[in-house]
Amino acid sequence: MSFVRMATEIVSGWKMRSIFLVFFLTWGTSAFAQNHHGLEDSLRELVPDGYFVTETIYGDLNKDSQEDVVLIIKGTDPNKVVVDEFRGEVDLNRRGIVVALRNQQKYELVVENLNCFYSEEEDGGVYFVPDIYTKIEKGKLYILFAHGRYGHWRYNFRYQGEDFELIGYDRSANRGPTVEVVTSINYLTKKMLVKENINRHEEHADPIFKESWTSFTLDKRFKLSEINDFSEFGDGLRE
């Protein structure tokens, strides 16, 4: 084989591979876009009219190895944007939560609770309103309210029967750096643990907790879709 012919075949082969590579990348990208087009559309369809998304959280909520989604949404009613005497213009539109499970190339709505959270611009009085954080971990949905020096409280939800059921509640009541009382409620076992720091009035003293367990009855299960206002719900046992 002559050098010219060999060079021609090498160039031809390189061209064919280049054409194939371009075709593959173009087809692959197109196929990828097509595969995710419906997924993106179904995600957009989860947002109700008059709301926008402030946070998107992904994770597996039903143990099927697919990434489900939680959306934190906020209303856009212009009448809820008011002028505060001291803080100026504030947006008091409430926030809500949307939870959907992924089914191949689409999301299927499970929970839509549009106004269960207060606005982040609510007047907290002498202190700010608690920050709200949402996390998916080990198949559970956690909603945490962080209140700085006053402590925090957290709700633990699990997917159950086409809704998300409250299975746990934890609260730490603080005074600055001092933890005063820790409460942990298990709604499955119907038991509550309260740990009281008997050194809470001693400045700079190490905490010493006195534990007490109690059992309770539960007439109904608390579902995420049915909690109208988390700020009034508390641990639910008062209802």
Percent of the chain scoring above 70 in pLDDT = 83
Each residue's pLDDT tens digit, 79-121: 999 998 889 999 999 999 999 999 999 999 999 999 999 999 9
CB 50 within 8 A of CB 81: no
CB 85 within 8 A of CB 118: no
Distance CA 156, CA 139 (A): 10
Tell me how far the alpha carbon of residue 100 is from its chain's centroid: 11
Strand ranges, E, within the chain: 51-59, 68-75, 81-84, 88-91, 95-102, 107-117, 131-137, 140-146, 151-160, 163-175, 178-186, 191-197, 209-215
Distance CA 79, CA 12 (A): 69
Helix or strand holding residue 23 (H, E): helix 3-44
Of the two residues 34 and 127, the one the predictor is more confident about is 127
pLDDT of residue 37: 59
